[in-house]
């Protein structure tokens, strides 16, 4: 049990809260538009895919960044630098979860199976981006943005505009709050020649760009609300989501990063869960 707990800590299993709610939006949107009944087997497989893909991505990130994590006082107590999990074990964990992810997609439909290596390439490739581009935050957002469209494809086997709008929302939402999170390591990243928007633009301009990204994310949700089969409940959820996203920009200052974790994990986690609940409720209210 303690070993499982260590691996869950390695991949920050609680942060799955960022991707699962939007995957559920994609899933139930597909159900609402294309089929009459919920296929609970497909729902279970979608949840497995999110779980396995995220485990692979986070485990690989910890494996690739282990030397940097050891040098950084903020991350030195993570499982690999602290010798709780060996690099070899972490890599085996990544391989296992990658295989399980592809296997799960094989039970969904042929398109998901064909696209599964592409999805893995995106979510694993993010770990290298800080070494060559300051747009690493956008790559992280792209990885999580696969959740709503991936869940939609699991049900329908085809692309559509509406789930893509939710995916674009996730891309810019995640990129925006990851910029805020990266403020904590601005000096370390600069010393180690790692790329990030805070290193490139400084704290103040980074917070401005983060807010701009979040405006784009909210505009995607407004567009989705206009063209989608939504009514009042959806818009109430969007207002709540907007308030929570806005609040994080009020509590993180260019000269004060002490509330970054509150902005990063707590507010964004609550925002995603509440918004998904309102969206799904709206779909069923208008069934």
User: Residue 265: what pLDDT?
Assistant: 76
User: Residue 25: what pLDDT?
Assistant: 97
- Decide: 225 and 234 in contact? Cβ < 8 Å: yes
**Residue 229: CB atoms within 10 Å:** 14
In angstroms, the CA 271 to CA 126 distance is 24
User: Residue 155: what pLDDT?
Assistant: 95
In angstroms, the CA 192 to CA 219 distance is 36
Query: What CATH number is given to the structural domain containing 265?
Result: 1.10.357.140
Listed as ranges, residues in the chain with pLDDT below 50 are: 287
User: Residue 128: what pLDDT?
Assistant: 96
- Decide: 76 and 67 in contact? Cβ < 8 Å: no
Q: Which pair of tokens denotes residue 73?
A: 């006082």
User: Residue 286: what pLDDT?
Assistant: 57
The pLDDT tens digits of the residues spanning 73-110 come to 999 999 999 999 999 999 999 999 999 999 999 999 99
Nearest to 54 by CA among 170, 143, 125: 143
Model confidence pTM above 0.75:
yes
Nearest to 220 by CA among 160, 156, 170: 170
How many structural domains are present in the chain? 1
Burial class (CB in 10 A: 0-12, 13-18, 19+), 110: exposed
Domain hosting residue 123, numbered range: 2-285
């Amino acid at each position: 049990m303690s070993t499982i707990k260590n691996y869950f800590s390695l991949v920050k299993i609680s942060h799955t809260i960022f991707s699962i709610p939007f995957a559920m939006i994609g899933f139930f949107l597909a159900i609402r538009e294309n089929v009459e009944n919920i296929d609970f087997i497909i729902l279970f497989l979608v949840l497995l895919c999110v779980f396995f893909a995220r485990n692979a991505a986070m485990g690989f990130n910890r494996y690739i960044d282990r030397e940097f994590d050891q040098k950084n006082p903020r991350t030195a107590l993570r499982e690999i630098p602290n010798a709780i999990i060996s690099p070899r074990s972490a890599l085996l964990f990544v391989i296992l979860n990658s295989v399980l992810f592809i296997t799960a997609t094989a039970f969904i439909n042929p398109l998901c199976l064909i696209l599964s290596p592409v999805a893995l390439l995106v979510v694993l490739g993010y770990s290298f981006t800080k070494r060559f581009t300051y747009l690493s935050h956008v790559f992280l957002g792209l990885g999580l943005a696969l959740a709503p469209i991936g869940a939609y494809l699991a049900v329908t086997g085809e692309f559509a505009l509406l789930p893509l709008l939710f995916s674009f929302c996730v891309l810019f939402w995640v990129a925006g709050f990851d910029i805020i999170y990266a403020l904590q390591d601005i000096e370390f990243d600069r010393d180690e020649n790692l790329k990030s928007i805070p290193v490139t633009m400084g704290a103040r301009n980074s917070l401005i760009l983060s807010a701009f990204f979040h405006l784009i994310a909210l505009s995607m949700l407004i567009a989705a609300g206009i063209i989608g089969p939504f009514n009042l409940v959806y818009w109430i959820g969007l207002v709540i989501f907007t308030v929570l996203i806005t609040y994080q920009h009020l509590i993180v200052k260019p000269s004060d990063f002490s509330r970054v974790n509150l902005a990063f994990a707590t507010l964004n986690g609550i925002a995603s869960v509440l918004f998904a609940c309102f969206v799904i409720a709206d779909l069923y209210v208008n069934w």
